[in-house]
């Protein structure tokens, strides 16, 4: 039986050749390919600086660390994302404060951010859910009014735009992920982009043990072997193997986003007659990245439809379980679920359908036919 995963990388011969060339070169770890990838990524999004690392989670971690906030600071974020977003806050000794989402975009709601600001609030991490940019103007206004720093978690959103401008230069720092299901892949990998030269210098140190070789005469004149650890960093370096793949993939990003939009449009046309589904919508002022295509169920339990589709080779998924539901967060940062009515409602009804650049039109048709068959097979009515 055929199986259509919810997401999958698209690797071609050019990608393979780029990796082979590095394997035959003198550099395997961080070297000229990483430098090139950073330069091309910065150019693509219009940013001054890029620091490439070994995962999106690592990128989030050093971005929060680079803010250099007082320990125990509160950082407002969304609960409707992968746990890495709020985990990065915890790694650095701070407190995640969750704010409810907009039920249309699934992004953090600016009005809910305002409700959660306290005297301890120092920053906001907003997430472009599924590749749909947040209400950035409103979030920036809130940050200016309250003197807050901004990190944009754009791990779903490389290649997207907000009001005609590429995502990557709105916040103090923007984080990207290059996991295989993301807009481009380096196997595992991530990056932080910023306009701020001081943050850039910190980020470069933090990804490599906090160590620099720029030590002047610290160890005496002519001590070219010297180095100094200036910050408590980690080993988050990207390899040249990963970066070479990233350079090749980045040169195809626009075609990937175009294909994702074509597939999303096919789904919307094919499923629009099913009254028991709420389909995703896109606001006019954004270019959607369609990292995910999610549907909301009406009059049907997910536990009924989910296995039905899985049994027919459709790799449905759920994005996401709200972070505050995890046992770790319940033990250490318990929340009243009633505080998040939109998050709770969306989570209870959401299913992710397969969508990735390598999908065919026929794949979308197959998924659509199975959903139409489900209407009668499962006796769905609203």
**Domain ranges within the chain, ordered by starting residue:** 13-250, 253-377
Task: Please give the pLDDT value at position 187.
Answer: 97
Asked whether the predicted pLDDT for residue 55 surpasses 90, the reply is: yes
Q: Could you write out the three-class secondary structure of 192-226? A: EEECCHHHHHHHHHHCECCEECCCCCCCCCCCCCC
Q: What is the DSSP letter of 82?
A: -
Range list of H helices, the chain: 13-23, 32-45, 56-66, 84-91, 110-116, 136-146, 197-206, 240-250, 253-271, 302-310, 327-332, 341-349, 361-377
CA distance 278 to 140: 30
For the domain bounded by 13-250, which CATH number is listed? 3.40.640.10
The verdict on pTM exceeding 0.85 is yes
CA distance 11 to 53: 21
- Which residue bears the tokens 């007659």? 273
Q: What is the mean pLDDT of the chain?
A: 97
Percent of the chain with pLDDT over 70: 100
For the residues 342-370, what does the mean pLDDT come to? 98
Asked whether the predicted pLDDT for residue 382 surpasses 90, the reply is: no
Q: For 193-252, how does the pLDDT look when each residue is reduced to its tens digit (9 = 90+)?
A: 999 999 999 999 999 999 998 877 677 777 788 899 999 999 999 999 999 999 999 999
The encoded tokens of residue 334 equal 């318990």
Instruction: Give the 3-state secondary structure of residue 250.
Output: helix
For the residues 308-322, what does the mean pLDDT come to? 98
Contact 151, 92 (CB under 8 A): no
CA distance 37 to 117: 37
Contact 234, 207 (CB under 8 A): yes
Q: Could you write out the three-class secondary structure of 116-180? A: HCCCCEEEEEEECHHHCCCCHHHHHHHHHHHCCEEEEECCCCCCCEECCEECCCCCCEEEEECCC
CATH, domain 253-377, list 3.90.1150.10, 1.20.950.20, 2.30.30.100, 3.50.50.60: 3.90.1150.10
Q: What is the DSSP letter of 280?
A: P
Instruction: Give the 3-state secondary structure of residue 258.
Output: helix
The encoded tokens of residue 340 equal 């998040």
pLDDT band at 381 (very low <50, low <70, confident <90, very high): confident
Percent of the chain with pLDDT over 90: 95
Asked whether this chain's domains 13-250 and 253-377 adopt the same fold, the reply is no
CA distance 357 to 187: 16
Task: Please give the pLDDT value at position 226.
Answer: 85
Q: Is pLDDT larger for residue 222 or for residue 328? A: 328
Instruction: Give the 3-state secondary structure of residue 232.
Output: coil
Task: Please give the pLDDT value at position 274.
Answer: 98
Asked whether the predicted pLDDT for residue 142 surpasses 80, the reply is: yes
Asked whether the predicted pLDDT for residue 190 surpasses 90, the reply is: yes
- Residues contacting residue 77 through CB under 8 Å, at least 6 positions apart: 85, 86, 89, 96, 97, 98, 99, 108, 124, 125, 126, 127
Q: For 65-105, how does the pLDDT look when each residue is reduced to its tens digit (9 = 90+)?
A: 999 999 999 999 999 999 999 999 999 999 999 999 999 99
Q: Which of 350, 372, 353, 374 shows the shortest CA–CA distance to 364?
A: 353
Q: For 154-175, how does the pLDDT look when each residue is reduced to its tens digit (9 = 90+)?
A: 999 999 999 999 999 999 999 9
Asked whether the predicted pLDDT for residue 1 surpasses 90, the reply is: no
């Amino acid at each position: 039986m055929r199986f259509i995963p919810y997401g999958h990388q698209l690797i071609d011969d050019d990608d393979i050749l780029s990796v082979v060339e590095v394997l035959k070169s003198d550099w395997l770890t961080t070297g000229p390919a990483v430098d090139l990838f950073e330069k091309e990524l910065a150019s693509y999004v219009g940013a001054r600086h890029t620091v490439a690392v070994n995962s999106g989670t690592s990128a989030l971690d050093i971005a929060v660390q680079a803010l250099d906030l007082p320990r125990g600071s509160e950082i407002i974020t969304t609960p409707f994302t992968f746990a890495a977003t709020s985990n990065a806050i915890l790694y650095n000794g701070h407190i995640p404060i969750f704010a409810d989402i907009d039920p249309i975009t699934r992004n953090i709601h600016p009005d809910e951010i305002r409700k959660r600001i306290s005297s301890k609030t120092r920053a906001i991490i907003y997430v472009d859910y599924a590749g749909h940019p947040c209400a950035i103007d409103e979030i920036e206004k809130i940050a200016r009014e309250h003197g807050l720093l901004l990190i944009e978690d754009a791990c779903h959103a490389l290649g997207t735009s907000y009001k005609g401008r590429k995502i990557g230069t709105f916040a103090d720092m923007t984080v990207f992920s290059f996991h295989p299901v993301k807009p481009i892949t380096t196997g595992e990998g991530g990056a932080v982009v910023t306009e701020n030269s001081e943050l850039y210098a910190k980020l470069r140190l933090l990804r490599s043990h906090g160590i620099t070789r720029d030590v002047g005469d610290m160890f005496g004149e002519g001590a070219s072997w010297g180095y100094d650890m200036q910050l408590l960093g980690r080993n988050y370096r990207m390899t040249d193997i990963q970066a070479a793949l990233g350079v090749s993939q980045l040169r195809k990003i626009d075609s990937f986003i175009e294909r994702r939009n074509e597939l999303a449009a096919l789904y919307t046309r094919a499923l629009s007659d099913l009254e028991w589904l709420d389909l995703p919508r896109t606001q006019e002022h954004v270019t959607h990245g369609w990292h995910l295509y999610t549907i909301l169920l009406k009059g049907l339990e997910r536990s009924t439809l989910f296995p039905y589709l899985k049994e027919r080779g459709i790799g449905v998924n759920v994005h996401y379980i709200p972070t505050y539901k995890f046992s770790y967060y319940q033990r250490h940062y318990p929340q009243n679920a009633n505080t998040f009515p939109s998050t709770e409602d969306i989570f209870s009804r959401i299913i992710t359908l397969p969508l990735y650049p390598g999908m065919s039109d026929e794949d979308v048709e197959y998924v659509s036919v199975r959903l139409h068959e489900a209407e009668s097979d499962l006796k769905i009515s609203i």
